[in-house]
Structure 1
C-alpha cells in the first residue's frame, strides 16, 4: 500500500534528514514508525503524503508513483499531522463537507460516515460550532473524522494520540483495526512505545535518517519490551544491539 524506495531528502543548508530509506507497508498492516527527535520521521511522512518534495528515490501509494501522479496518490490516502491546521472560521460540519467535496463523496455516504465517526468520537453535538471554539482534543477528533470520510486505503498519522482523551484513544485504535481488516493500511509515528508494541503488527525504527531495523513486531522484539529494543538500537552499543540491527524487511 505504501512503498518507499531509497528515499533521500536534504534541506537547504545541507542537512540530510533522510538517507536512502526503504520501507513497505502492506494492506492489513498497522505499522509503527519510531525514532528519536530529529530522526527523520516527519520528513518521511510528509514526503510519503505528497507535501514535501524529495531529492532521490520514489514513493508509491497502492502502486502509483507519487512523483508521476500525486493527485491519484492523494485520493487514496488520508494524513493527520500532529497538530492539525483546520479552518477556524468554518463550523465542524462545514469542514467535513468541504473535505467530502474534495474527495467526491456522495451526500448519502458522507452523511452516514459523518454520523458514524463523529458519533464515535462524541463530537456530533458541536459540529454546528465554529472550529475556533474547539479545544485541541476536539480539533484532533474532527481531523480524524475528516480523514475517514472518504474511506482511505492508507491512513498516515504523525503522533496521533497526542491530545486525545483515553476514550478517544481507544476509539481510534479500534478504527485502525477496522480499516486494516477491510484491506487498508495504517502508518503512524509515535513516541509511546508501549502503544506501538500492543497496536502494531509491524515496526520500523530509524536513526539519523536511516533505517535501522524493521519487521514483524513479535519477531523484532524477540520477547523483549519494544522500549528495551529501541534503546539498544538508538544507543548503538552492546552485543544485543548488533543482533537487532541485522533484522529488516
Structure 2
C-alpha cells in the first residue's frame, strides 16, 4: 500500500461550449508511474480534456487534480506537468537549440544542468547536427521531436502527449516510444493520446476509449481485448471499432480490482485528428 496520491484524478469534469456539453462529467484515475492510453475518434474530446488537465482550458464544472493539486491552481499544476500538443508551440525564427534554451529560461531552469540535458536529448533524437538550424527549415517530424524535448526538459511528474509520433519515420518513432517507456521507469506518468493503436498496446497500462461524450471502455489492454467478444485473436483495434459505432449503446464492462467507471467526454472547439 502507498499513501501517494494518483498522478491524475478527475471527477465529473465538464466543459461546455455555446451551452452544449463537449466534455460531460468525465471521471478518471491515473496512478503514478503508469501510461494511460487515451483513445477516441476525431472530435471525441481528447484534446479538450488534456487542455483542461493541463490548465490551458478552464473547466465548466467538476474538478480534476494533478498529484492532489487542483487544476484551479494553475501555477501549482504547471510545476508538475509537461505537455506536447499535436502542433508543438515553437518559434520558426529560432534554431532548435535556441527554442529549448528559451523554454528553459521560461521555466527558470538552472543553466548548467539544463544545457547538458538539452545536449543529451538532441543527441538521443538525432538532432545534434541540425540543432543550430532555424526551425522553419525543420520537417514536421523534426519539429515534433523538438516539441517533445521541450515537454520533457524540466523532468515533469506527469507528461501529456498528443500524437507524439506524428510525422515521424519508423526509426524516429521507435526512439520516441523507447523514451516514453523510460519515463515510467523513472517514476513519471504519461497520459498518451494517439491514433496509432500499436503504440498504445505496447506502452499503456490502462486504456480509456471515448465516444460520443462517453468513456465507453476502460481497462488494461488485455482485459479490453478479452471483453471485446471478437474471438481469441481480438486486438485493441477490434475493441476500438466495436465500442465506437453508432450501434454501441452500453459501456464495455471490464473486470478489474477497482470497479471501472464509465463517464463522458465529447469535444467541440478543439481541433483533433
1:87-102 pair list within 5 angstroms: 87-102=91-106
- Give the conservation status (yes or no) of the 8 Å contact 2:15–2:60: yes
- Give the conservation status (yes or no) of the 8 Å contact 1:137–1:163: yes
Q: How many residues align?
A: 244
Residue 141 in structure 1 maps to residue 145 in structure 2? yes
Once the 2 structures are TM-superposed, how far is the Cα of residue 236 of structure 1 from its aligned partner? 5.8
Once the 2 structures are TM-superposed, how far is the Cα of residue 47 of structure 1 from its aligned partner? 0.8
Equivalent residue number for residue 25 of structure 1:
30
Helix, strand or coil: the match of 1:90?
A: coil
2:63 to 58, 61, 79: 58
- Give the conservation status (yes or no) of the 8 Å contact 1:30–1:186: yes
Q: What stretches of structure 1 of length at least 5 have no aligned partner? A: none
Equivalent residue number for residue 129 of structure 2:
125
Residue 37 in structure 1 maps to residue 42 in structure 2? yes
1:246 to 253, 258, 270: 253
The 2-side partners of 1:124 and 1:54 are apart by 40
- Give the conservation status (yes or no) of the 8 Å contact 1:18–1:208: no
Once the 2 structures are TM-superposed, how far is the Cα of residue 34 of structure 1 from its aligned partner? 0.6
- Give the conservation status (yes or no) of the 8 Å contact 2:177–2:199: no
Residue 6 in structure 1 maps to residue 19 in structure 2? no
- Give the conservation status (yes or no) of the 8 Å contact 1:17–1:208: no
Helix, strand or coil: the match of 2:82?
A: strand
Higher helix share: 1
Helix, strand or coil: the match of 2:182?
A: helix
Identify which range, 29-38 or 228-237, moves more after superposition. Answer: 228-237
Helix, strand or coil: the match of 2:244?
A: helix
| 1:178-231 deviation line (CA, Å, top 9, x unaligned) | 111111100111112222112211101111122212122212221620111111
Helix, strand or coil: the match of 1:235?
A: coil
Q: What stretches of structure 2 of length at least 5 have no aligned partner? A: 1-6, 227-231, 255-259, 262-273
Q: Under a length normalisation based on structure 1, what TM-score does the superposition of the two structures give?
A: 0.92
The 2-side partners of 1:164 and 1:203 are apart by 23
- Give the conservation status (yes or no) of the 8 Å contact 1:89–1:132: yes
Once the 2 structures are TM-superposed, how far is the Cα of residue 22 of structure 1 from its aligned partner? 0.8
Helix, strand or coil: the match of 2:11?
A: strand
Equivalent residue number for residue 108 of structure 1:
112
Once the 2 structures are TM-superposed, how far is the Cα of residue 64 of structure 1 from its aligned partner? 0.3
| 1:46-69 deviation line (CA, Å, top 9, x unaligned) | 1111111111111211110011x1
Which segments of structure 1 move beyond 6 Å, counting only runs of 4 or more?
none
1:214-229 pair list within 5 angstroms: 214-222=218-226, 224-229=234-239
| 1:37-85 deviation line (CA, Å, top 9, x unaligned) | 1111111111111111111111211110011x11121121111111113
The alignment's C-alpha RMSD in Å is 1.6
Once the 2 structures are TM-superposed, how far is the Cα of residue 99 of structure 1 from its aligned partner? 1.1
Q: Under a length normalisation based on structure 2, what TM-score does the superposition of the two structures give?
A: 0.84
Residue 165 in structure 1 maps to residue 169 in structure 2? yes
